[in-house]
Amino acid sequence: MISRGGAVRAGLRAWWARVSPEPGPQRALVASSFVNRLGTGMFVAVSALYFTLIVGIPARQVGTGLTIAGTAGLLGSVPAGMLADRVGPRMVQLVTLGVQTGTMAAFVFVHSWWMFTTVTALDKVADAANNAARGALIGRVGGERPALFRAKLRSFVSVAVVLGTPVAGIAIQIGTRAAYVTLILANAASYVVCALLLLRVPEYPPIPRPAGSRRFAALADRPYAAFAGLNGLLSLQAVVVALVIPLWITTRTQVPRTMAAVVFGMFFVVGVLLMQPVGRRTETVAQGGRALRTSGLAVAAGCAVLAVSAEGPRWAQAAVLLFGAAIICAASVWALAAGFSLSFGLSPAHAQGEYQGLNLLGLDAAAAVGPALLTALVLGFGGPGWFVLGAGFAAAGLLGPPVTRWAQRTRPDTADAGAVADAAPSLSARAARPSAAGSSAP
């Protein structure tokens, strides 16, 4: 008879085998990304306070600088993705990590608005380029199931961000320049560790471009651009959770402000719990289109709930708020899973970086203009604003299946999310053999 402890251990081993990445390049890339996002989680949580309270830049100027830097970042994704397709994604990612190490360390010496804006713009361009190359590398490392591997990766980096946030809270509590600087330099060091771990991932050679294929194909691919736009719009669910709901709590409800932190934490917890189960059911193009629809309609339902969260006693407001926020948090998982499956499934194998860059361009463009529009809509119109916002998400979601069917009809050789990988593994495997030492499990 198996003891209860033995059954628990067996269950844990089975669970870990299901959720963990495969040994070799996959685990190396997950470890690299985990360290990177751990540092990012620490920095993002303190950056606004550092530049306003420690450096002394007015909050409005910080916002302006971030807007300028975010706009500059839009220029980095597609060119970097194209470069990753030509010279290999790992090389581009290593270079961008080196640039980000320098920009992060340079924040310690920032003392004026123009210097803050310049360094932040360089950092945003490097970050966009890094993400495009990383997307192409995920496509190669993920093998025949890149979307599922990306879902696993997302689960682990979400945990990293959550772990980094309390460390940032300690620095905020101390409140000295030395505490903030220590955190910033720790993030700079995380880029170095990230690059060292990335060296354990093979340098996959570029996949030759088929005869007759055109350069800059992604920019001329209207169906894929339409998907990238929809993906960007639906990604604004994260802005609803991180920005709109906290502002709604403080201006329109009687709920304690600490509820904003609860909602933010719930966003990551729900992501960790649901990302892989949903990802396993959202790997083909058709499944991705349906997941976009599910996500948009779910957000609409969540917005309808939030629209009435300012009514009634405080306990009722809190309960309704948490219910509506939970729906949106869950909906964001379907949006992410759809984005993963479609960004890989609709991309030709030889141009993964270029297409991932275009997808990131849609995400970054939405992130640049979305916060101002969403907050103006909800805070300006109150409950009706939530209904209008929900209708917008529902419309975007309903466009998911027809847009993906349109895109699928125009693919010359891809029928589902696994088709992209079918062209790559043979080349990828040959590339990995000379680098066996580099592909060992960490």
The residue with tokens 């891809």 is 414
- Indicate whether 310 and 389 sit together in one domain: yes
Which domain covers residue 129, as residue numbers?
A: 22-205
Global confidence as pTM:
0.79
The H-assigned helical ranges of 59-176 are 59-73, 77-87, 89-106, 113-141, 146-174
Nearest alpha carbon to residue 300 among 385, 389, 362: 389
Q: Which whole number is the average pLDDT over 56-74?
A: 84
- Indicate whether 307 and 180 sit together in one domain: no
- Indicate whether 142 and 223 sit together in one domain: no
CA angle, 282 as apex, 281 and 288 as ends, to 5°? 150
Q: Which whole number is the average pLDDT over 66-92?
A: 87
Task: Answer yes or no: is 62 within a domain.
Answer: yes
- Indicate whether 254 and 142 sit together in one domain: no
Task: Answer yes or no: is 344 within a domain.
Answer: yes
- Indicate whether 336 and 359 sit together in one domain: yes
Task: Answer yes or no: is 15 within a domain.
Answer: no
Distance CA 212, CA 420 (A): 18
Q: Which whole number is the average pLDDT over 212-220?
A: 77
Distance CA 133, CA 76 (A): 11
pLDDT of residue 14: 61
Out of 205, 228, 250, pick the residue that ends a domain: 205
CA–CA distances in Å: residue 4 to residues 16, 47, 166, 183: 18, 47, 34, 43
Out of 144, 172, 205, pick the residue that ends a domain: 205
The H-assigned helical ranges of 199-313 are 217-220, 222-234, 237-239, 245-252, 258-280, 285-306
Task: Answer yes or no: is 14 within a domain.
Answer: no
Q: By the 8 A CB rule, do 401 and 292 touch?
A: yes
Q: Which whole number is the average pLDDT over 88-113?
A: 94
- 166, with CB counted inside 10 A (0-12, 13-18, 19+), is exposed
pLDDT band at 10 (very low <50, low <70, confident <90, very high): low
- Indicate whether 38 and 180 sit together in one domain: yes
SS (H, E, C) 203-228: CCCCCCCCCCCCCCHHHHCHHHHHHH
Neighbouring C-beta atoms of residue 212, cutoff 10 Å: 6
- Indicate whether 162 and 65 sit together in one domain: yes
Task: Answer yes or no: is 9 within a domain.
Answer: no
Task: Answer yes or no: is 17 within a domain.
Answer: no
- Our count of domains for the chain comes to 2
What element of type H or E holds 416? none
- Indicate whether 196 and 223 sit together in one domain: no
Task: Answer yes or no: is 77 within a domain.
Answer: yes
- Indicate whether 196 and 255 sit together in one domain: no
pLDDT of residue 101: 96
- Indicate whether 35 and 157 sit together in one domain: yes
Neighbouring C-beta atoms of residue 402, cutoff 10 Å: 12
- Indicate whether 165 and 195 sit together in one domain: yes
Out of 170, 205, 240, pick the residue that ends a domain: 205
pLDDT of residue 385: 95
Average pLDDT taken over every residue of the chain: 84
Q: By the 8 A CB rule, do 86 and 352 touch?
A: no
- Residue 417 pLDDT greater than 70, yes or no: no
The one-character DSSP state at 413 is: S
Kindly report the CATH number assigned to the domain that includes residue 387: 1.20.1250.20
- Indicate whether 222 and 193 sit together in one domain: no
